[in-house]
Structure 1
Amino acid sequence: MIRKITESDVDEAWLNYLLELNKKMTYVKANVSASKAGSSGGKAGKAGKAGPPPIRALKDVGPELERLRIRASGIIRDFFLNKIRSLRIPNTNIQILQQSVLLKYKELHRFLMERHGDGAAEVRQTYVNTMRWYFYNHFERYSKGLGKLQAVIADKTDLIGVEESAKKGLFGTGKVALKDKTNVFALGDRIETLRQQDAGVILVHVAEDKSQKYPYEALFRSFNLTMIDNASSEYLFIVEFFATDNEKMAADLAKSVFHDIFEPTEKMGLMTTKQYVDNSYDAVGILLCIRINTQLTMELQRRRVPALEAYTNATNMLLWPRFQHIMDLHFQSVKKMAANKQVLASVRDVHPHYVTRRYAEFAASILTLNEEYSDPNLNNSLQRLRNEVEGLLARMANELSEHKNRIVFLINNYDLIASVLKESAGKTVEAELEHVNALLSVQIGAFVDEELIPYFGNLVNFVKHAEQVKNVAGIDADRFEKISYEFNTTWRQNITSINASVIQLFSNFKNGTTVLHAVLGQLIVYYTRFCVLLEQRFQGGGKANGGSSRKQEAGIASWKQPPVGVQTVMVEIKKFRSNF
């Protein structure tokens, strides 16, 4: 054993001899301690039984074991220092060296911690220094490489309430600058960065060869996923390699070693995030980063690796305030637009305003990213923005001269918001959609009467008035005949005109169909109510149903034309419903 330990290189046989040496040293120490305790007990008389007699051979063996301890400790120290320094060699695979060498001979390190504290401290500090340098340099290079792959997403002009002319003026023709620019407000495929949890990280050299560009959240995910993978592996290695019998002491030591290694890398990662965040106007991208950070935090908890908790918390503290700031910028931009008389005066037609699409896409994005979190602060911020947008649309509508056009403008804009929200799924979006549909329903209701009045105003007004009269029989029969005759002679032409009007006013096919159905449906309601009043006025004549040759009551029979039947009107209306 002496010859192997002092003359051979470290290998598995050397390890076995060292373990045998450790057992002998433990035995000697225990025997000497027991002998001393027994001797003390014997002198005390009644203190207890005397211990075993000292083994005189230990006096000869003891010095040899001590020399072996010193020699073995030196060899172990040099062995680990050489292996650790090899980590600085380019292209060294750290995980393989850790698993196949360091952990394979971790009992040597344990011997060093127990038998030569100074040597163990030197090995630990050398390992910390080496790994700190390794991780910092590798992640710094990776961060810089990722930075070159970042796509342009948003700047200070990419706010909901910024005029189109201002945005176009910034980029001139815009063809080059906007070539790779993602829609600032729509979530689109960007959510895949959040959903594809098992997707690999970005390889910089591959992306550069393919001239690929990525939104920041993809770079953020790739950097931080690489960080937690490396940190998890490193932390678990540290816990195993630097383990001691005292669990609390071992946990504290592992935490301290990990912190010393990763502190510079964490600071660099936070600084990289801060540099982006401080200049970002991409609320969707930052919220994606917040959700990605939450996923990574949960993954660390699943792996039972608490070492990066402070890092993920600090990352959150960088992201959330900037997100709220950008939300405030969006709110202020809409508020500023609502106070801009020139912008309001520029509203000339009833088509949806560009601000509406921006808001709709933005709201759908934020709501989708809040689906599994239901963050009340985020919902409050979005509701505040929604109220401001609704106020802006109302002021824009008031700029139109005709009352009907104001209603049509609001219908088209609310319909656009509803259409965009319908493309998303989830309870948070459904709640918002319900609110918008309620606004849309009110405006469609207002439009229905507004659209019917020019064509069937006399009918509508007569029905409303007659229904307020207690005695219908007291209404002059000539008035009934006049309304009936006017309806008979114009209703087909008027329905055709309404159909053409709706087609012109509502460019969205589905929305136009809904509005047309509402208008024609209400027409049926008014005419049915007229027929009921007619029956009440001329009791005994039977219901008016054109196409029947049955003799009517004498008053109606004397009319120029009998009233057209409700069923006839409904059949004709169904033709327009199917054609639109």
Structure 2
Amino acid sequence: MSRKDDIAHDFDLANVFEVDNEVVRASLESGVDLREYSTNIENQLKSAHRDAVQDCIDQAEKLADLHNRISDCDQSFERLETMLSNFLVELGSISSDMQRLQEQSVVINQQLNNRQRVRGELSQFVDDMVVPHTMIKAILERDVNENDFLEQLHELQHKLQFLKAQEFQDAKAVGDVHDVIENLKYKAMEKIREWLIVKISLFKKPLTNYQIPQNALLKNRFFYEFLLANDRQVAREIKDEYVDTVSKMFFSYFKTYVSRLFKLQMSDSAGKDDLLGAEDSVKPTSFSSVFSSKPSTRSRATVFSLGKRQNLLSVDLMAPLIVPHAAQQANERFQFECLFRSIQYALVDHCSHEFLFLSDFFMVNGQAAVDLFSQVMGRSISHLLKAIEEKVTVNYDAISLFLCICLCTKYCELMSERSVVSIDGFWENIAKMLWLRFEAVMNMHNESVRNLDVRKLQTPVDTRPYYVIRRYAEFTCAFLVCTEISGKKMDTRLQSMLTKQQAEIEGLLNRLTSQLKTKKERLVFQINNYDIILNILDERVTMESKERTSFWELQQTKINAFVEEILAPHFSSLIQFVNECEPLVEQNHSQLLARYTGKVTQIVRSFSADWKRSIEAINHEILQSFTNFKNGTNILQTAFTQLVQYYHRFNKVLSHEAFNECSVKNELVNIHHIMMELKKYKPVY
């Protein structure tokens, strides 16, 4: 019996004993006879035993069948146990087999990778080493222009580089293909050299668009790369041939272009006599006109005014080039700056294209690119410098010269935007040349103003603006407008020249003013001339300038002096009274003020009687004196404002205790009445 069965049996006996104890205890408490009770129990047990035996006998067949089934189950469980034990043993062997197969798989995989790598490298080596028949046929038979030739040329270059690398490693297979590869290389170089020489020779043909052969060269720029990699001497020959041919082509082009272009310059250009201080008269334009009775219509207006010439710095900066033969057929003529712009833009266009081509085709950059570009364009640039210098030295048009200076700055910036900095020295030399000539011409203008003898003028000076001042205003305005369009700050050199010229103009104005008789005429003359300068500057120049500020301050000073001068004949007693008494009022000198009481009656009654007529007279005189109606009306309002201020000050002085007993104060005109009357003269724009 197992341990589990023992525990169950002990548990049953304990329960039986516990029940019997309770039965016994109950029997004792009830007084039952124990012997009788024991006999009854024994009989019951025997009866139960007989019943149990009889029941087993009755169920003998079922019990036998149950026994057989239990035996069969035990045998089945025994076989299953044997099978599971065998399966467990087999599982152990399978685990070891799997581990062994995994190790074999890793080894086989590594072997496969090694073989594939060796096969790939060996296959690539064979492909790089073998010279296919298609390559030989393409290099020997195909035309250079065909794509097949270019493709095989790339492949040939690859094989040449591979062969050099293998030869360095002493690969024995190199000897098998070395001669074939070298022969193909020399054949390809021969065909490429001939093709490049033919293309370069196309630049020598006149009237040929040189960009067409250049584009063909760029399309096949690998040709030069192939030559450079395999024979530097042949590559140098090609480069030298290109430099020599193209430099001659550009030199011939610019020499012819400049020569033909300057034949289109206006014959009516500024001359050495067209100066700021020159007499306002026409000059003969030809020898025959000297003896002609019909006067020439030549005007100096274009010498001192800008007109539409500033468009060169904006909308016309990159306009199409002037074509000499087309312009000549159309009978067109141009200002110097237009010709200058066309030349410079042609140079910018060609230089930009050429610099980029050289860098791309010949594979150079940095200083090497600049040096190669200088070899190509050096002669042309030197010729342009000389040709432009010859024309600049005879140019007397200061506006034209300054426009050219601004154009140089614009095109230099354009070249920098295109990353072409190889001709910065050219712009610097041109700008220096132009500045020197510009300064010389400006000094000539200043000298002409300084030497102008106002005592020998053909027409007498009157109060109207003087023509030299109008010229000066247009002249200065031109430089300020060009500076503004350029988008740059005022150049210190230009500012210095304008300051010197302004000093000469102010000196001329003072000399002209001295020719007038009265102070009032002199003030009107100065105000009119300052006004014409300010009007021209305000009309065209939006930026603030030193010249405008200076002339505005001068004009305001003269206007204030004129206002005092125009008021004096009509209100001199009142003005004198105010100017003399105001300091005494501030110091409270009542006794000294009492001396003026006698004048008050005369001043008040005179003012009351004549103030309206005086205002009308002032209005008439001012409007008649100034050529600019707007300026005249502004001065009129300034005069009336000054009059109101004087009258207000007069009333303030009379409010002092020293004048308390002056009964004439009751006759004073109400200041509001005066202001209402003055409003009638206020202009309506």
TM-score by length of 2: 0.73
| Pair 1:148 & 2:267 matched | no
| Pair 1:373 & 2:489 matched | yes
One-letter identity of the residue aligned with 1:7: E
> Which of residues 570, 577, 580 is equivalent to 2:682?
577
Q: Give the aligned partner of residue 149 of structure 2.
A: 14
CA contact (8 A) 1:228 1:308 kept: no
CA contact (8 A) 2:578 2:650 kept: yes
Residue 192 of structure 1 deviates from its aligned partner by 0.9
3-state secondary structure, aligned to 2:683: helix
| Pair 1:282 & 2:402 matched | no
| Pair 1:84 & 2:197 matched | no
CA distance 1:9–1:528, shift in 2 (3 Å): same
TM-score by length of 1: 0.86
Residue 183 of structure 1 deviates from its aligned partner by 1.7
Q: Give the aligned partner of residue 354 of structure 1.
A: 467
CA distance 1:175–1:301, shift in 2 (3 Å): farther
CA distance in 1 between counterparts of 2:440 and 2:169 reads 71
Residue 60 of structure 1 deviates from its aligned partner by 4.3
| Pair 1:299 & 2:402 matched | no
Q: Give the aligned partner of residue 2 of structure 1.
A: 136
One-letter identity of the residue aligned with 2:306: L
| Pair 1:364 & 2:477 matched | yes
CA distance 1:80–1:473, shift in 2 (3 Å): closer
- Deviation digits for residues 5-27 of structure 1 (CA, Å, limit 9, x no counterpart): 22332121112222222222222
Matches within 5 A, 1:534-553: 534-536=654-656
One-letter identity of the residue aligned with 1:190: R
CA distance 1:34–1:75, shift in 2 (3 Å): same
CA distance in 2 between counterparts of 1:276 and 1:260 reads 26
CA distance in 1 between counterparts of 2:612 and 2:375 reads 86
CA distance 1:388–1:120, shift in 2 (3 Å): same
CA contact (8 A) 2:202 2:213 kept: no
Q: Give the aligned partner of residue 305 of structure 2.
A: 186
| Pair 1:34 & 2:169 matched | yes
CA distance in 1 between counterparts of 2:284 and 2:333 reads 25
Q: Give the aligned partner of residue 417 of structure 1.
A: 533
> Which of residues 426, 430, 444 is equivalent to 1:311?
426
3-state secondary structure, aligned to 2:169: helix
CA contact (8 A) 2:463 2:625 kept: yes
CA contact (8 A) 2:305 2:474 kept: yes
CA distance in 2 between counterparts of 1:516 and 1:271 reads 59
CA distance 1:240–1:579, shift in 2 (3 Å): closer
Q: Give the aligned partner of residue 47 of structure 1.
A: none
CA contact (8 A) 2:318 2:345 kept: no
| Pair 1:519 & 2:639 matched | yes
CA distance in 2 between counterparts of 1:281 and 1:415 reads 28
One-letter identity of the residue aligned with 2:232: G
3-state secondary structure, aligned to 2:304: coil
CA distance 1:253–1:536, shift in 2 (3 Å): closer
CA distance in 1 between counterparts of 2:174 and 2:672 reads 119
Matches within 5 A, 1:303-342: 303-337=418-452, 340=453, 342=455
CA distance in 1 between counterparts of 2:684 and 2:273 reads 44
CA distance 1:176–1:114, shift in 2 (3 Å): farther
One-letter identity of the residue aligned with 1:461: Q
One-letter identity of the residue aligned with 1:364: C
Residue 170 of structure 1 deviates from its aligned partner by 7.3
CA distance in 1 between counterparts of 2:204 and 2:470 reads 55
- Deviation digits for residues 346-392 of structure 1 (CA, Å, limit 9, x no counterpart): 64311111111111111222223334232122212211111121112
Q: Give the aligned partner of residue 10 of structure 2.
A: none
> Which of residues 130, 134, 139 is equivalent to 2:245?
130
Residue 235 of structure 1 deviates from its aligned partner by 1.0
CA distance in 2 between counterparts of 1:487 and 1:319 reads 64
One-letter identity of the residue aligned with 2:386: M
Residue 284 of structure 1 deviates from its aligned partner by 1.3
Q: How many residues end up aligned between the 2 structures?
A: 535
3-state secondary structure, aligned to 2:551: helix
Identity of aligned residues (%): 32
| Pair 1:405 & 2:524 matched | no
Q: Give the aligned partner of residue 580 of structure 2.
A: 465
3-state secondary structure, aligned to 2:404: helix
CA distance in 1 between counterparts of 2:195 and 2:426 reads 34
Q: Which moved more, 1:411-420 or 1:8-17?
A: 8-17
CA distance in 1 between counterparts of 2:656 and 2:395 reads 71
| Pair 1:499 & 2:615 matched | no
CA contact (8 A) 1:344 1:395 kept: no
CA contact (8 A) 1:473 1:537 kept: no
Q: Give the aligned partner of residue 334 of structure 2.
A: 214
Q: Give the aligned partner of residue 562 of structure 2.
A: 447
CA contact (8 A) 1:364 1:420 kept: yes
CA contact (8 A) 1:473 1:538 kept: yes
RMSD: 2.6
CA distance in 2 between counterparts of 1:459 and 1:200 reads 71
Q: Give the aligned partner of residue 160 of structure 1.
A: 276
Q: Give the aligned partner of residue 547 of structure 2.
A: 432
CA contact (8 A) 1:397 1:406 kept: yes
CA distance 1:81–1:176, shift in 2 (3 Å): farther
CA contact (8 A) 1:239 1:251 kept: no
- Deviation digits for residues 83-106 of structure 1 (CA, Å, limit 9, x no counterpart): 11123334433323322x212221
CA distance in 1 between counterparts of 2:503 and 2:431 reads 28
Matches within 5 A, 1:556-567: 562-567=667-672
- Deviation digits for residues 154-175 of structure 1 (CA, Å, limit 9, x no counterpart): 111222122225x547786897
One-letter identity of the residue aligned with 2:560: G
3-state secondary structure, aligned to 2:332: coil
One-letter identity of the residue aligned with 1:235: F
CA contact (8 A) 1:145 1:204 kept: yes
Q: Give the aligned partner of residue 27 of structure 2.
A: none
CA distance 1:534–1:424, shift in 2 (3 Å): same
CA contact (8 A) 1:344 1:399 kept: no
CA distance 1:494–1:518, shift in 2 (3 Å): same
CA contact (8 A) 1:347 1:396 kept: no
CA distance 1:239–1:531, shift in 2 (3 Å): same
CA contact (8 A) 1:335 1:392 kept: yes
Q: Which moved more, 1:345-354 or 1:384-393?
A: 345-354
Q: Which moved more, 1:437-446 or 1:90-99?
A: 90-99
Of structures 1 and 2, the larger Rg is shown by 2
One-letter identity of the residue aligned with 1:370: T
CA distance 1:473–1:323, shift in 2 (3 Å): closer
Q: Which structure features the higher share of helix residues? A: 2
- Deviation digits for residues 483-528 of structure 1 (CA, Å, limit 9, x no counterpart): 1221122222222221221122111111111221122221222222
CA contact (8 A) 2:166 2:174 kept: no
CA contact (8 A) 1:159 1:330 kept: yes
One-letter identity of the residue aligned with 2:634: T
One-letter identity of the residue aligned with 2:441: I
Residue 286 of structure 1 deviates from its aligned partner by 1.0
CA distance in 2 between counterparts of 1:5 and 1:389 reads 80
Q: Which moved more, 1:110-119 or 1:529-538?
A: 529-538
